[in-house]
Structure 1
Amino acid sequence: MNPSVLDVSEKVLIGMSDTILMSESHKIGQLWQKFMPNKHLIKNTINNHHFAVQVYNSENTMDKPFQIWATIEVSEANTIPAEMDVVTIPNGLYAKFTLRGMEIGRLYQDIMTTWLPSSGYIIDNRPHFQIMDERYKNNSTSSEEDVYVPITKLN
């Protein structure tokens, strides 16, 4: 496991969100099913990459709700379609991993238990996100997406 460590610039995204518990992962698919038929309403898109965003509270545990987003990046958020909103990913340091297949839970477990303890970094309190570009194939073992984990140097 050898991620790229990148300084990511601020990203402005428009999309739909929901608040869920860790045990409610089925709601992620429901959110995307609601978002995809409406994404064409978003103006000023930068490209056709989809961003899945997770905003955890600072005390995130299995029983604490967190916010999920289905979004697209925009150059300006001056027109927001009904039932959508803006989420901003602040600039900062991220570890970028490539997920091959669909087992993001296993990747996160490896990140937290294997990579992170020996990395010299800790998780920062900023959104986590995934970028799904042309390599992404829903429900396919040949799918790829980039997973960005917010980090900061361990003091």
Structure 2
Amino acid sequence: MKEPRIETLAAKKLVGHSLEMSLSNNRTVELWSGFMPLKRHITNVIGSDLYSVQVYEAMPDANFGPHTEFEKWATVEVDAYETYAENFQTLDLPEGLYAVFIHKGPSSEFKSTMNFIYGEWLPNSDYHLDHRPSFEVLGAKYKNNHPDSEEEVWIPVKLK
């Protein structure tokens, strides 16, 4: 895996669905299968990218494990918040510095990307993890579970 690009993200307004889960109680399929058929009801979407966002109550640390609960979101970006039906919720993604990695391959290989980011790159970089949401951008090259799939992995960082 290669070095990330470091990018300052402008604040974004996201709309979608969320579920509480952990790695051992992974409800990602349930989340996305509930969101995708309804996202057409969001009429002020910016672009075609999907955002898979993880929100942690506390910063992930050495105690993070398979049973650590977090809130996962299936979202799209909008230009402004409106009144939404279908149990849509809003999420403000704050401005900040991110390390952006490319995950290539099926989701079954995502763990190796995360192991590289948190186990190799972050400890040896000039950055600390910052307490903001992390997320994946599922763009034009994303092909759900396909070996040629690509997605961007955005990790919130700040200089050491």
The answer to whether the superposition gives a TM-score over 0.5 is: yes
Q: Runs of at least 4 residues of structure 1 off by over 4 A?
A: none
**SS across alignment from 2:47:** strand
Matches within 5 A, 1:1-155: 1-25=2-26, 27-60=27-60, 61-62=64-65, 63-102=67-106, 103-154=109-160
Tell me if the contact between 2:59 and 2:131 (Cα under 8 Å) persists in the aligned partners. Answer: no
Structure 1 position 64, deviation (Å)? 2.5
Displacement of 1:78: 1.6
Query: How far 1:81 sits from its partner (Å)?
Result: 2.3
Structure 2 contact 38–86 (Cα < 8 Å) conserved: no
The AA in structure 1 aligned to 2:12 is K
Which whole-Å deviations, capped at 9, do the CAs of 1:53-79 have from their partners, x for residues lacking one?
A: 000121542233100000000001122
SS in 2 for 1:70: strand
Q: Name the TM-score, length of structure 2 as normaliser.
A: 0.92
Deviations 1:72-99 (A, max 9, x none): 0000112222311001110000000011
Q: Look up the SS of the partner of 2:24 in the other structure.
A: helix
User: Residue 18 of structure 1 contacts residue 31 of structure 1 at CA under 8 Å; is this kept in 2?
Assistant: yes
Deviations 1:37-63 (A, max 9, x none): 000001210011100000012154223
Normalising to structure 1: TM-score of the pair?
Answer: 0.95
User: Whose strand proportion is higher, 1 or 2?
Assistant: 1
Q: More displaced, 57-66 or 13-22?
A: 57-66
The answer on whether the counterparts of 1:43 and 1:79 sit within 8 Å (CA) in structure 2 is no
In structure 2, how many angstroms separate the alpha carbons of the residues matched to 1:78 and 1:16?
Answer: 15
What percent identity do the matched residue pairs reach? 35
